[in-house]
Amino acid sequence: MLGGGDTLDVVSSRRVRVVFWLLAFATVLLAVRITYWQTVGRGALLERATSQIRSDLALPAHRGFIRDRNGAILATTVDLRSLYAIPGRIADKAGSAARLAPLIGQDAATIQRALESGAEWLYLKRWLSEEIAVQVADLKIAGLGFENEPKRLYPNETVGAHVLGFVNDLGVGQLGIEARYDALLKGTDGRLIVERDPANRALAIGLRTETPARNGADLVLTIDLVFQAAAERELRAAVEKEGAKGGTVVVMDPKNGAILALASYPTFDPAHVAQADPEALRDRAISWSYEPGSTIKAMTVSAAIDQRVVSPTTSYNDVGYAIIGGRRLNNALGKAWGPTTVLQVLERSLNAGAVFVASKLGAERLHDYLGRFGFGEPTGVDLSGEQGGLIRPLAEWYPVDLGTAAFGQGLSATPLQLAAAYAAIANGGTLYRPFVVASRRDADGEQRTAPVAVRRVISSETAATLRTMLTSTVDNGLAKNASVAGYSVAGKTGTAQVPSEDGRYLDDVYISSFAGFAPAADPRFVAVVVLDEPESRLLGTVTATSAFRGMALDMLRSIRVQPDRQP
């Protein structure tokens, strides 16, 4: 039997062995751990250590300028100070809110609620003017600070809004040029990696790696600021005078497809989009498909003359209507004109005459020419949100469709498509793809946009004949109000019914328009004016032609075009 001393010796021996094995296990574990950190985990350990002394900063790229064709700035970016708060450091929240409220234009109670919301950090007001930022800084409220943020500015306010689009709070382009060319405009952010000491000071002999930012490209547009301002002024006056739902103007250079002005109304301020009516953001020039009405008669007559089935002097007996496909299609107001020439079809805008011309041409050729003029497909303009209009396939046409298409019903087009089609008549017969960006400039140099001739639509002889006929339409026909003193003007009016959802036409609801160019003999621009649902059917067209005249005079004088007629 073991004595008391022996029992203690055994217990002690066991304890020593337990401690030994514990120490051995710990030693092995530590050795494994050290081996792991020296081999497999070495990279992660170094990364964690490095992250404690390195700062990785983004170097924001500067968003490119947008200018008009003459160099005027349309959009630019500046750094403004945004006010933030760290509520936990603000002792007197109510008092601070009361002092801030009159400076940043917010209710004191709203500011106080924000400061008492429990947030660790929050913006109180973004993009302060320098004057206001200085006044806020002078308050010396602990817990407030400033952060520089880029802000997109549009010096001309609403002018050119639908062409330009806007930039959201995240710096992403929305609508127009800002959206279509967002990747080019925003550039590529750079990167700066610096090693710092515990006091956040850059180490003199530490690592410093910098990848410079690549600033966004500057864009030069085809837009002429004088043209744009004139178009917007006349469009707004026309819409308000006629009580219309809205309207649009497109101005193009017929020689190459460059868009000189593009306006829609109602409009918006791209610097304050949050306050805009959603309908005002709609670019009617490219996204609004409507039945163009009698402005299409110029295309119908062009096709028939090009195919030599009629001439300007070809005549028929106008009885006020035409029967086609078992349907009766009337002239406006049902008036009969008796012996009438094809020239007078345009001058008087006769639906029965357009049916007569189309019947000579035939459905297949009319459908083909409408497609060649660019109707039924997008123009390919370099703006976001373009619609293509609609011309049903020839196989789906009924006999009556030959007649209605001849005067612009049963098909749809955008104002931009119509402008491009009239430009083909103005320039001698070639359809050009419309474009808005004339050139882009970045660190690699300048790239200019080359005009794209899509196709020849009509012969130069046919185009010359149509220019003469459309000039007579302004001089002697329904478009007299488009006349500009001292200059020849060519053009055609349009008054189109608005279809309802059931395929019929709404009573007393119309779209009024005018498409024309000047000077007629050597056109410097083509312009289309469209008013959406003016209160007066007849006066709406008169107002559209007046709007053309008002802006045409400004534009001709701006580019110093010499008069080609006696005033």
User: Would you call the peptide bond into 266 cis, given omega within 30 degrees of 0 as the criterion?
Assistant: yes
Is 294 known to be catalytic? yes
What is the C-alpha to C-alpha distance for residues 40 and 398, in angstroms, rounded to an integer? 78
Interatomic CA distance for residues 332 and 322, integer angstroms? 12
Angle at 175 between CA 170 and CA 176, to 5 degrees: 125
H/E element, 452 = none
Token digits of residue 238: 């026309």
Q: Find residue 491's DSSP bridge partners.
A: 516
Alpha-carbon distance 310 to 184, whole Å?
50
Of the candidates 165, 172, 387, 151, the residue with the CA atom closest to the CA atom of residue 281: 165
Which of 409, 413, 408, 417 is closest to 389 using CA atoms? 413
Q: Which of 294, 349, 472, 488 is catalytic?
A: 294
As given in the structure block, the two tokens for residue 276 are 């805009």
CA separation, residue 89 to residues 42, 109, 199, 509 (Å): 40, 19, 21, 63
Order of all β-strands in the sheet with 259-265: 259-265, 246-252, 525-532, 505-518, 490-499
Among the listed residues 432, 446, 430, 512, the one whose alpha carbon sits nearest the alpha carbon of residue 478: 512
* Dihedral class, residue 153 (left if φ above 0, else alpha if ψ from -120 to 50, else beta): beta
First to last CA, the chain: 142
**Other beta carbons less than 10 A from residue 448's beta carbon:** 11
Closest CA to 525 of 226, 321, 148: 226
In the three-class reduction of DSSP (H, G, I as helix; E, B as strand; rest coil), residue 114 is classed as helix
Q: How far apart are CA 402 and CA 398, in angstroms?
A: 8
Ordered DSSP codes for 122-161: EEEEEEE-HHHHHHHHHT--TTEEEEEEEEEE-TTTTTTH
Closest alpha carbon to 214 in 77, 61, 66: 61
Residue 67: φ, ψ to 5°: -125, 160
| Rounded-to-integer distance, Cα 420 and Cα 370, Å | 12
The catalytic residue positions are 294
